[in-house]
Chain A
Amino acid sequence: QSVLTQPPSVSGAPGQRVTISCTGSSSNIGAGFDVHWYQQLPGTAPKLLIFGTTNRPAGVPDRFSGSKYGTSASLVITGLQAEDEADYYCQSYDSGLTDFHVFGPGTKVTVL
């Protein structure tokens, strides 16, 4: 049971905008710790998508964006494309009694 929660799945048609939420608490996201996002295609290792809550590594399309408010963070995909169909995980730091570096349970994005 992760200290971060994500919706199990979201879907959208090509070209649409989808939002994936990552909800934490006052011991992680709400404490001001950064949130990072990873994309995992089937059979491959996770790939860093967003670091430091809002930053994109080189090579990541600008249709991916991240934000944070209070105890929650969001990953937004604008202009959804077929190749965006994957699992998405958020990650942060928890200062409570749980794991220090925590991942969310993941969200499956389906392109309709």
Chain B
Amino acid sequence: QITLKESGPTLVKPTQTLTLTCTFSGFSLTTSEVGVGWIRQPPGKAPEWLALIYWDADKRYSPSLKSRLTITKDTSKNQVVLTMTNMDPVDTATYYCAHSINSGSYTYYFESWGQGTLVTVSS
């Protein structure tokens, strides 16, 4: 059974850096064609993909947020960490991590999701 759980602060101040940790079980991030992605969802809005780290340590970021994001993995701990700098109130959202699988070519889908963590950006 695959499980993922996000952890990190629920409240950050504007300009601060957000660090979120995804702790997972039931799969290995060294398995071919597997990844862990981060997706956020502002209240009442659609999900927005942020970043994805692949089994081979390759990384991809949303072009619109690339300058603010860093994704890393610790395979020994089964963890993936996302940092987002210069937080703003518009970044208030539920942040999810998800187990990702390659369906072919560049298309990864998000097969299992964590429960999500609501991050509020406010002074």
Contacts and interface: CB of A to CB of B under 8 A. Distances in A.
Contacts of B63: 97-100
Interface of B: 37, 39, 46-49, 52, 60, 62-64, 96, 101, 103-116
Nearest to A31: B105
Contacts, number: 79
A34 B113 contact: no
Contacts of B105: 32-34, 93
B48 A103 contact: yes
Contact of B103 (A45, A52, A89, A106): A52
A42 B105 CA distance: 32
Contact of B49 (A47, A51, A97, A102): A102
Interface of A: 2, 32-34, 36, 38, 45-48, 51-52, 57, 89, 91-93, 95, 97-106
A45 B111 contact: no
Contacts of B62: 99-100
Contacts of A105: 46
Nearest to A91: B109
A102 to B, nearest CB: 7
A102 B109 CA distance: 10
A51 B99 CA distance: 13
Given A33-B106, A48-B110, A91-B47, 5 more contacts: A46-B110, A52-B109, A89-B46, A100-B106, A101-B37
